[in-house]
Amino acid sequence: MDFAGVNGGGSVDASSAEKDFVQCEKIVREWARSALEEEIEGDGHTLQDLLFFLHVPRTGGRTYFHCLVKKVYGAALECPRSYDKLRFDPRKPKCRLVATHDDYSIMSMLPREKTSVMTVLRHPVDRVFSAYEFSVEVASRFLVHPNLTSATELTKRIRAKHKGRDARKMKGLSYVNSNDSYNVEEMAMPLHQFINEPVVLDTVHNGATFQVAGLTNNSYLAEAHDVRHCVQKFTILGEHVLQVAQKRLDNMLFVGLTEKHRESAKMFVNVVGPQVISQIASDSSMEGLSKIKSVTEQNSLLSDSELDSNYHQDGTSDQKTTENVSTENLEGIKKNARLLVPDTVLQQIRSLNSLDLRLFKYAEGIYAKQNERMHELVTTVSYYLGEIPHTILFASTYILFGDMLLDVQLG
């Protein structure tokens, strides 16, 4: 590795950089070795007593959780204060579902052998766009703007109204009248500046990889900061972090994709749903049977039409839209606006998220394998039950329990 010029030039700088690299390589390698050794070999596709939904920000996870995962389990089985790191207690009775923005290191607080993990990933470039849009939307609330589109439209009206007395023109400064919603300096920090902000470099770029690896700035691991700093300083060391993240995806119960939201939802309910009922059915008490009935009744509503209406691709259905702009139109406006972003900015985003791009590609392969297993499951159930209505299988009272097909009598 050529260290000359790492810090601006000179043999002294090169020597110092080489020492830093050697130290960083040792730190990252030791962490990666330990992390891989902790991974439990076994069938990660079998639901354990506790399900941890690792919620990567800006992937639609909030909608995915509330409109799908929580409905599959029922509110009674959700661990209290899942998103409250200071007060979350996984030892609470009836705690079978936890969802949080915490990274994978929270597994150190959970019974690892009895915990399954799931997550949803999104294409890194789209996730960065969404992070920027969300940041502007949150800031715009103080200006009574529900979203980026509203703020941009106001800026255009202001420009038109004061076209003849623009202060910058009067001072001889250049003025570019652009429809690029991601470069409106009068209202918000431009995207090209946002992606280079220190907090964004530390928490957004490659954020999915660091979160799955358990190395975010909110990690429970003492060495997380040093490992992350070393990887950000010497990008070649990111290979070790990526290897750990990929291994953990391999061992997850389920990996969804934001870009395939509808298919992901159906897949989760078909593959994981029967296991949830099987798990509850193992409780032979009347309370267990009551839970099955409650969960099944809730999920009988999860038809194809409900999935489409309850889950939106951008995962921002909980955000307000402008009074006269529908969610579908707003998504169209966003997509068109993104086409105006310069290629140089897009290329920089890709470069800054090289690990996430490779992790997403890897996740697509896992998703394809999950899809194959789902079709095998549907074929098996169809063999036993004959023709099944085109609704999600979880609405059926039949469940898979090991190698047996059980008919749960709900009364």
Active-site residue list: 112, 133
Measure the CA angle with vertex 149, ends 143 and 154; round to 5°: 55
Tell me if 250 sits within 8 A of 218, measured CB to CB.
Answer: no
Q: Specify the 3-state DSSP secondary structure of 234.
A: coil
Structure tokens that stand for 222 in this block: 């003492």
Residue 354 DSSP symbol: H
CA distances (Å), 234 to each of 26, 197, 218, 269, in order? 12, 19, 21, 41
Residue type, 69: V
Residues 349 and 195 sit within 8 Å (Cβ to Cβ) = yes
Within 10 angstroms of residue 397's Cβ, the number of other Cβ atoms is 14
**Residue 52, SS3 per DSSP:** strand
Alpha-carbon gap, residue 81 to 123, rounded angstroms: 29
